[in-house]
Every structure is written in C-alpha cells, then in structure tokens.
Amino acid sequence: MNRAIKKYTVIGFRVERAGPLALLQDAGRFGVRRLGVTQGGPADLHGWAWANRLAGNPWGTAALEITFGGLTLVAERDLTLAVAGADLGATLDGKPLPRWERVSCREGQRLVFAAPANGLRAYLAVAGGFVAEPVLGSVACVVREGLGGFDGRGSKLCEGDRLRVGELSAGGASPNTAPDEARLDYRTTARLSLLPGAQVGDFTGQSLFQAFNATWHVDDRADRMGVRLTGPRLACRIGSLVSEGIGLGAVQVPPDGQPIALLNDRQTIGGYPRLGALTPLSASRLAQCLPGQEVHLVAVSGERALGEHRRFCASFTV
C-alpha cells in the first residue's frame, strides 16, 4: 500500500451489504488505450461530476457508482456527502436521503440504496473523496479487465470492505444544492446527440432516415461496455472493416442492423461500421436508461458537440 495514502486517509464507510454492482470511479484511465486498456470512469459523467461538486471535491475525485441499488453502508466517522444521478430509493437511518444536495452523515448511521425508481446509476461522493491505490494512473474500476477499484483488485465492492476517504476536503466554494436544470428525470424519452462520422456515408439512404427518425428501445443486453438499441434494421454497404480505434459513444452497427452504443468499458478497437458517436453527455444519459426505455438519435455538428462539452466541463472548474 502506498504510505501516503495510508497516512492521509481514514476509514469512512464499512460495506454491510454489497449489492449487485458498486464500483469506485474517478474520471477514468487515459493514455493507455494503445496498450489495449480501456478508459473506465463514470458511466454517467453528469451525475458523477455533480456528486463531487456538491461534496466540495475537485474534478477527478473518486466517487462510488452504484448500479441497481442493493447497497448498505455504515458510516465509521462523521462525513459530508452528496448523492446525484439515479433515484435508487436511498435512505439514511430509514429516512429518505435527498439527491442533488449536500448532506451530513454521522458516525454509525446506515446508508441504504434500495432499487431503481428513476434511472439506473447513482453516484455517492464524500468530502475528501474515496481513496484507493491507483492502477495505471487511475482508481477507475473496470471489472472486465480486473483493474482499479477497492484495493486495486478490479472488482465490485464486497461485504466487509472498509472504504477510505481523504482526511481533508478540497478548498473553494461549492453549492449546497444542484440547480433544477441539472436534476434530470431519467424516465423521460432520451434525445441522444450523435455526431455523424466514420462510415455514415456507407449506410443506405433509408437507413439514415430511419436512424434519426425512428424510435429506438434500450435492449436488456446493456452494461458498462455498451448498450444495444433495438428498432429498424440498418443496412450498410460494407459488412466489416479492418479494426480501428473505438472512442466513447461510438455507435457500431453489426450485421443484424441493430446499433450498439459503446460506453466506458468498451473494447479499444473494433471492425463494425460506425454510424458516428454519441456526445459524452448523451452517452451519460443513455447509461441511465432502463431496458425497454425509448430513445431518439439526433444528428449534431462537431462544433455544437464540442461547445456543449466545453461548457459542461467549464462549469465544474473551480
């Protein structure tokens, strides 16, 4: 264990019940895809960023991504925390825990995440941040690759794990609550911005019309690697390609014509033709969709997509 980590951290939570999938996630693992190592990081960048901001943490601080709920944590010291993203029926000692707000938690209190009520993934941030041993420069947990996460073991939280937090929170002002426009309702139909590119010109005209005018449904084959969309069959004049690099949000179309939007734990290369790529915030929105939910693809320009992302990132710069 890194001695600096041991010296400047304390135990914040003990895991009483692990739930199906709770992972430590910082901003992600970058500069390593040439080694075949994927990005990791929060599936919902928006929810993760707001949880950290409300807790008073700088960009990049590790938070806990909780998928589906089923997690129970017991505080082992007084903490300041924030929960953003999905409504998983969180309670603190049996009382509803507000989302999108800074909250005080006392030693011995029990924090419970039940089941999805609105969205799929909640983000728990604590003042000072969760601390773990970095692997390839990041604590982001990628289960498929066995990297990062609690104790660097590359797996979800387990019963009995004791989560370390930083002793001192970051300086600087931070809001106590998120504005109304940041509090997304994940039950509504998602409009996903897609930047056309790659092989978009090789799809038939009818397929391009259907791609941006049809209603797509989120398939139950969805995880942190990617989300399959079901709807009209898209046809491409080319069947497969020499494998090439795959970025966040890339929308591949395999031979069955059903698009797959690739997320944080995606493979690093792929050979299916691509319709384009979802913007980071649209990939985040898709990551909160439950199976069966409706989504629409909306074509956007590179200028608009870049401007949107720059404004989002600038709002979290302190």
| 59-111 pLDDT tens trace | 999 999 999 999 999 999 999 999 999 999 999 999 999 999 999 999 999 99
**Cβ count within 10 A of residue 16:** 15
Q: Single out the residue in 182, 201, 234 at which a domain terminates.
A: 182
d(CA 121, CA 219): 17
> 229 and 279 share a domain?
yes
Nearest to 309 by CA among 287, 279, 267, 270: 279
> 171 and 277 share a domain?
no
**Cβ count within 10 A of residue 134:** 16
pLDDT of residue 146 exceeding 60, the answer is yes
**Domain total for the chain?**
2
Task: Please write the tens of the pLDDT for every residue from 276-307.
Answer: 999 999 999 999 999 999 999 999 999 999 99
* Residue-level pLDDT at 172: 59
d(CA 236, CA 64): 40
C-alpha angle 314/163/84, rounded to 5°?
40
Residues spanned by the domain of 167: 3-182
> 67 and 112 share a domain?
yes
d(CA 145, CA 227): 18
Contact 18, 157 (CB under 8 A): yes
Helix or strand holding residue 212 (H, E): helix 205-213
> 43 and 93 share a domain?
yes
- Residue 135 burial (C-beta neighbours within 10 Å; 0-12, 13-18, 19+): buried
> 177 and 298 share a domain?
no
pLDDT of residue 1 exceeding 80, the answer is no
Q: Single out the residue in 163, 182, 201 at which a domain terminates.
A: 182
Q: Single out the residue in 150, 182, 214 at which a domain terminates.
A: 182
> 173 and 220 share a domain?
no
Share of the chain above pLDDT 70, in %: 96
Model-level pTM? 0.95
> 53 and 117 share a domain?
yes
pLDDT of residue 154 exceeding 90, the answer is yes
* Residue-level pLDDT at 168: 61
> 117 and 234 share a domain?
no
> 174 and 218 share a domain?
no
Share of the chain above pLDDT 90, in %: 91
Question: Residue range 171-197: average pLDDT?
Answer: 92
Of 2-6, 120-124, 193-197, 252-256, the range with the lowest mean pLDDT is 2-6
> 194 and 133 share a domain?
no
Contacts of 309 (CB under 8 A, 6+ apart): 279, 280, 281
Q: pLDDT grade, residue 167 (50/70/90)?
A: confident
pLDDT of residue 7 exceeding 60, the answer is no
Contact 308, 284 (CB under 8 A): no
CATH number at residue 218: 2.40.100.10
> 241 and 272 share a domain?
yes
Contacts of 205 (CB under 8 A, 6+ apart): none
Task: Please write the tens of the pLDDT for every residue from 17-62.
Answer: 999 999 999 999 999 999 999 999 999 999 999 999 999 999 999 9
pLDDT of residue 3 exceeding 80, the answer is no
**Cβ count within 10 A of residue 317:** 7
> 138 and 249 share a domain?
no
d(CA 307, CA 272): 28
